[in-house]
Amino acid sequence: MNQPFSPMGKPVDRVDGRLKVTGGARYAGEYPEEGLLYGSVISSTIASGRVVSIDISEAVKVPGVVAVLDHTNRPSLASYDENYEDADSADGSPFRPLYNDKVLYSGQPLALVVADTLELARHAGSLVRIEYEQQPHETDLQAMLDSAYDAPAELPPPRGNFEGELASSALSVDVTYSTPSEYHNPMEPHASTVLYQADGSLQIHDKTQGTQNCQDYLHKVFGLEKDKIRVLAAFVGGAFGSGLRPQYQLPLAVMAALHLKRSVRLTLTRQQMFTFGYRPRTVQRLRLGAAANGRLLAVGHEAIGQTSRFEDFSEHVVEWSGMLYKCDNVQLTYKLVPLDVFTPLDMRAPGAALGMIGLECAMDELACALAIDPVRLRLTNYAERNGNEDKPYSSKELRECYTQGAERFGWARRNPEPRSMRQGRQLVGWGMAGGVWEAMQMKASAKARLDADGSLVVSSATTDIGTGTYTVMTQIAAESSGIDVENVTFLLGDSSLPTAPLQGGSFTVSSVGTAVQQACQALQRQVLEVAKGLHPQFAAVTPDEARFESGNLYLGDQVLSMAQLAASQASGVIEVQVDAEPDKKREAYAAATHSAVFVEVLVDEDLGTVKVSRVVSAVAAGRVVNPKMARSQILGGVVWGMGMALHEEAMLDHDLGRPMNHSLAEYHIPVNADIGDIDVLFVEEHDEIVNALGSKGVGEIGIVGVPAAIANAIYHATGKRIREFPITLDKLL
C-alpha cells in the first residue's frame, strides 16, 4: 500500500504513561473483589529432607483463618512431569508445589494459610510448626566443581584444531572468571488474584510474561478446561525473565480458590522473591591464542553453571565466543553442577550477560599482553559470518558501533598504560567491550478491527513488562493501517486474545510486531475491497495504487472515510486476524543485535571505591521503532550491567543452604548516586531479511558487555585484574 506518513521511528510518549503515573494502572495484586481472601506462604527452613508433620492447631484458632493447605489436604493435582512443563521449562522434572513431603530446597513452599486479611494470614502462618527429617545438602558450586556433567543443551561442534593451534600460538592467555548468582528483583513482587466465578471458572490476574503459558499450565496441572481459565496481565511492574515460567504463587492461589470456591489473592513477600529462579553462578575458563599481530588462532571457552537437583537448566553462556570473532579453531563446553537449590531462570540477556564477561575480559587481557589497542584487536578479528552456523549476517554494523562509540567517547585520547590517568587524587580508567544478542522471531497472531467511529483496535495476547509494548505496537498499527496513533488502541495481557509467544528475549517487536503489521495490512486490503464494492468505478484499483492516511482511503482524487466504509457493513466493523511466522529467507542468514560499550571509572585507591562516571553505548539493532522507548531499554541495561560488575551478589549461608541478603536493603543494586552519565547512540542499520519491520529488539543488548567494560576500565585504572564478580572494594584494597 502507498504509505506516505510514518508514525514508526518517532519518539512517541508511552500511551499507558498517564495511567501509570496517576495510579490508574492496576497490577496483579491490586484488583478489588468483594469477599476476597488472602494467602500467606509458609516456607521450608531446611534445604533437603522431608516433612514429618505440620502442626496447624494454633493457626486455625486465629479468628478469620479460613484454611491451611499443605500436601495432605490440597486439591487433586496431575501426576506426570509433562503436566507441569511450561513454555520455558528446563529439562528434567518440573517443581510441583505442595505435591508431597519432599523438601528440595530452602524456601520451598510447604503450606498456605488463607484468611480474611493479609495480616491475619501472616500472623497465623507464624504459628504453624513444621517437623522435618533433615538430610545433608550442598549449595556451594565451588565445592562441587568435580561433579560437573555435560549440559543437555546442544553446543556448536568444535572447529579446527584448538589444542594444537593454542599450543603453537605466539601468545596466549589462560584465565578463569567467576560470576555470582543474581536475583531478578522487579519492583512489583509476584502476585496472583484468582477470582472464582459462579460457574466455577477462574479469572486470574497474574504477574506473568505469558498469559497463555499460565493458562496452559493450569489446564494441565488441575485438569481444568481452558475455556474455564482466563489469565490477565494488563500491567506488569518489571519481570526481566522472572515471569517467563508460572511461579508457585499462581498454583497455590488456584488451589485455595478451588478448595474454598472463593476468590483468593496471594502476593509473595520480598524475601520470598529469593525462593525461585535466578541467574546461575558460573565459573568460566577462557583460553585464547593469537599471532603477534593480534589475529586469533584459537578460542576456547569452558563454563560450569549451577542447576537444581530436579531440572537441568542450560543457557547459552559459551556460544558467543564462537561467533563474535573470526577464528578457525574453536572449542566450547558447558557443564552443570546439581545443587540443593531451586532451578535457575532466564534473566535479562540470559547466557550472554554472563558469557560475554569471560570473553570480553579475556580479550582485554590478550590486548594488554600483545600491547594492542582493545578496539584495534576487535577490528582485527571482525567476523563477517557467524562461525557457529557458517552463515552471513542479515545485517551487521558492529564495526560502526566500535567506530562511532569510540569517537563519541574520545577513546583516541586514552593512554594505554595502567595507572597513567588521574583526576585529582582518583585513578581514571577507560575500558571497552563488545556486545551481541541473537535477533529472534517467533510465531504470533494479531487481530485488527476497524470500528464505525474510525477507531482501530488491535489485539494480541502478548504482555508489556514495562518495555513499552503498548506504545510500540500502537505505532506499528498506526503506520500499517493509515490511522492516526491517537485513534489506535492496542489490547494485550489476556489469554483469550490471539496467540502470542512469551515476552522475552527481545523478540516481542519482531514477532508480535510483525503480526500486527500483517493484520493491519490485511485490514487495508479488506477496506479497499469494501470500497470497490460500494464504488464500482474503483474496481480496477490495485493495492499499490491506494493510499491510506489519517483514517482516509485515497483513490486518485477521491477521498473515502475508512470509518464510513466500516459503518457500511452489517456488523458495523471490518475485522481480520492473521498468523505470522518468520520468513523462510531468514534461514540462510544469522541475525543478531550488536553493541560496543565504552566506560570511564574513577577509583579511590585509599577507600577501594569505584564510580562509573561515563558510559557510551553504541547499538546496532536494525530499525528503531521508538527511539525514546529504545533508549530507555539501553539505559536500564547499562545500569543493570553496573550492578553486575560492582554490586549484585546473592550471598548464601551454605550451612543453612539459603540466601543471607534476601532483601533490597542487603541485596545491593545501583542507585542514583552510583550512576554517572550514560550516552546512548543507535547506529543506522538496514535489514530487509530479519523481518518485514527490519527491527531486532533492544531489551537484552543494553546489558551485554557492560560488566566486562567496567572490569577492563578498573584494570586500566589500577593495574589490578579482578576476575571474581562483583568487583567489590574488598577485592581492590
pLDDT for 383-402, tens place per residue?
999 999 999 999 999 999 99
Cα–Cα distance measured from residue 70 to residue 90, given in angstroms and rounded to the nearest whole number: 26
182 included as an active-site residue: no
Q: How many helices (H) and strands (E) does the chain have?
A: 15, 33
pLDDT level of residue 153 (50, 70, 90 thresholds):
confident
> Does the pLDDT at position 686 exceed 80?
yes
* Residue 147 pLDDT: 97
The percent of residues above 70 in pLDDT, for the chain, comes to: 99
> Does the pLDDT at position 586 exceed 90?
yes
pTM: 0.97
209: CATH:
3.90.1170.50
Segments forming the whole domain that contains residue 469: 17-24+442-581
276: phi then psi, degrees, rounded to nearest 5: -145, -155
Let me know if residue 318 belongs to a domain. no
- Do residue 476 and residue 573 come from a single domain? yes
- Do residue 514 and residue 597 come from a single domain? no
- Do residue 452 and residue 431 come from a single domain? no
Q: How many domains does the chain have?
A: 3
> Does the pLDDT at position 104 exceed 70?
yes
> Does the pLDDT at position 3 exceed 70?
no
- Do residue 257 and residue 232 come from a single domain? yes
The arithmetic mean of pLDDT across residues 55-78, rounded, is 98
Q: What is the tens place of the pLDDT at every residue in 617-661?
A: 999 999 999 999 999 999 999 999 999 999 999 999 999 999 999
- Do residue 621 and residue 671 come from a single domain? yes
Let me know if residue 403 belongs to a domain. yes
DSSP assignment letter at 502? -
pLDDT level of residue 556 (50, 70, 90 thresholds):
confident
Strands 552-555 and 547-549: antiparallel
- Do residue 469 and residue 514 come from a single domain? yes
Cα–Cα distance measured from residue 67 to residue 20, given in angstroms and rounded to the nearest whole number: 35
- Do residue 404 and residue 470 come from a single domain? no
- Do residue 378 and residue 463 come from a single domain? no
Q: What is the tens place of the pLDDT at every residue in 185-234?
A: 999 999 999 999 999 999 999 999 999 999 999 999 999 999 999 999 99
Strands of 421-423's sheet in order across: 421-423, 426-438, 592-604, 609-620, 675-682
376: CATH:
3.30.365.10
Task: Quote the cell numbers at residue 445.
Answer: 497472531
Q: Looking at 182, 188, 649, 700, which residue is catalytic?
A: 700
Q: Are the C-beta atoms of residues 604 and 425 closer than 8 Å to each other?
A: yes
- Do residue 641 and residue 551 come from a single domain? no
- Do residue 102 and residue 208 come from a single domain? yes
* Residue 4 pLDDT: 56
Supply the mean pLDDT for the chain. Answer: 98
Q: Give every CB contact of residue 665 below 8 A, 6+ residues apart in sequence.
A: none
Let me know if residue 280 belongs to a domain. no
Q: Lowest mean pLDDT: which of 151-155, 201-205, 261-265, 362-366?
A: 151-155
- Our CA dihedral for 575, 580, 585, 589, rounded to 10 degrees, sits at 140
pLDDT level of residue 5 (50, 70, 90 thresholds):
low
Provide the 3-class DSSP secondary structure of residue 477: helix
- Do residue 398 and residue 492 come from a single domain? no
The arithmetic mean of pLDDT across residues 171-178, rounded, is 99
Let me know if residue 289 belongs to a domain. no
